[in-house]
Amino acid sequence: MSKATEKNFVILIGPPGAGKGTQAKLLVENFGVPQVATGDLFRYNLKNETDLGKLAKEYMDRGELVPDEVTIAMVKDRLSQADCQGGAILDGFPRNPIQAEALGHLLTEIGGQIRIVPLIVVDEEELIKRLLKRAEIEGRADDNEETIRNRMAVYHQQTKPLIDFYRDKELLVEINGDRSIETVSADLIAAIEQA
C-alpha cells in the first residue's frame, strides 16, 4: 500500500453492521499496516489508566461524550508509534468534519496522507437483519430493532457531513457491502491499490 517515502492512511467508513471491523482485519493482513480503531484506543487507555484514559473516564463517568480533543490526542499518540510508520487502516475515526480536519493536520505533521476513504454501503434493512442476528449470537439484549434503528439514524446524522467532506476532497469511494465478505474485500483491495 505505501510507497517507500509516504505514510498512506485508509479511512474506512460505514454504518454499524456494514462489516468495517472484518474488512479492516483483512486489509491489515493484505497490506501489513495496523488497524487503528477508536474503540480499541479507548479500551487500551481506560484499562491502562493513561492520562488520556483518566481524562476520558471523567467525561464518561458524568455521562458525557468524550470531547473531540481527547479522541484526537489518543489517535495522535497511536499514529506516532513505530508500527504506523508505513500508514494504517483507520476504523471509527474520524467521526465528524472537526475530527477529519484535525486528522488532516496531524497527518501533515507526521508526513502522512489519506490515500482513500472507502464507504461501505449496505441496504438499511439488511443492516438491521445483520445486527439483530449479531445481537442474538452475542447475547446483546439491549440491541433490539428500536435501538438499532436509532443507531442508524444517529450514524446518518453524524456521518453525512463526513461523507460530504471526503467526497469534496475526491477521496471517497463507495463499495457495495451487500455481497460476500470475500467480494467486498477484493473490491476494497483493488480500490486502495488503484488510489
Identify which of 47, 108, 46, 48 has the alpha carbon closest to the alpha carbon of residue 76. 108
Cell numbers representing residue 84 in the block:
504506523
Catalytic residue among 25, 134, 149, 167: 134
CA-to-CA separations, 180 to 36, 47, 104, 111, in angstroms, rounded: 24, 35, 32, 35
| 179 counts as catalytic | no
| 115 counts as catalytic | no
| 20 counts as catalytic | yes
The bridge status of strand 35-37 relative to strand 112-121 is unpaired
The burial of 63, by beta-carbon neighbours within 10 Å (0-12 exposed, 13-18 middle, 19 or more buried), is given as exposed
Those residues with Cβ within 8 angstroms of residue 109's Cβ, 6 or more apart along the chain or in another chain? none
Catalytic residue among 95, 129, 130, 149: 95
Measured distance CA(129)–CA(94) in Å, rounded: 26
Catalytic residue among 140, 160, 169, 179: 140
Active site residues: 20, 95, 134, 140, 151
